[in-house]
Amino acid sequence: MATLLAVSIGGYVVLRPRDLAVQAAPRANDPGCAEVAAHWPGQVAGRSRVPLAGDPAGVAAWGDPGIVARCGLDSPPPTTSDCIAAEGVDWVARTAGQGGGMVFLTYGRSPAIELIVPAAYAPEPLLLAAFADAARQLPQGNHRCR
């Protein structure tokens, strides 16, 4: 559920969702992330983009609860974690914290893209295809899902 911000306009109180607060990734200013950000999808799971507090570089979000994508993380090393190939892009998957949902990290691309999908959008891996065009802006390295 979104946090609401009350704003007084002309004597009326208007309630609007408060901008989602998300930190930029450590390598968000990498030139590859600018290309990725130019290719973020307009909608994900039928949800439109939502405003982010401070407009952090390389970050976008959709819907409520927010589906969050961040470019600028380190690509994971070889792993035995679940790996999913979607639309020609490999993603390492893990369960999110106590709130459920999943976190995906592009595999074999640098910098990496992190995608956080709340449980409300289950089955979460079905959303990966929406990010394929953005992820393909980063070159594929040697690591691939097997």
Distance CA 71, CA 131 (A): 11
Strand-pairing partners, residue 83, are: 92
- The token pair at 113 is 């893209």
Q: What mean pLDDT is predicted for residues 40-46?
A: 97
Candidates 85, 89, 92; CA nearest to 133 is 89
What does the mean pLDDT of the chain come to?
A: 89
Peptide bond into 118 cis (omega under 30): no
H or E segment and range at residue 32: helix 31-38
Query: 1 by DSSP, 3-state: which?
Result: coil
Summarised one tens digit per residue, pLDDT across range 90-138 is 999 999 988 889 999 999 999 999 999 999 999 999 999 999 999 999 9
pLDDT of residue 19: 80
pLDDT of residue 5: 42
Phi/psi for 132 (5° steps) reads: -60, -45
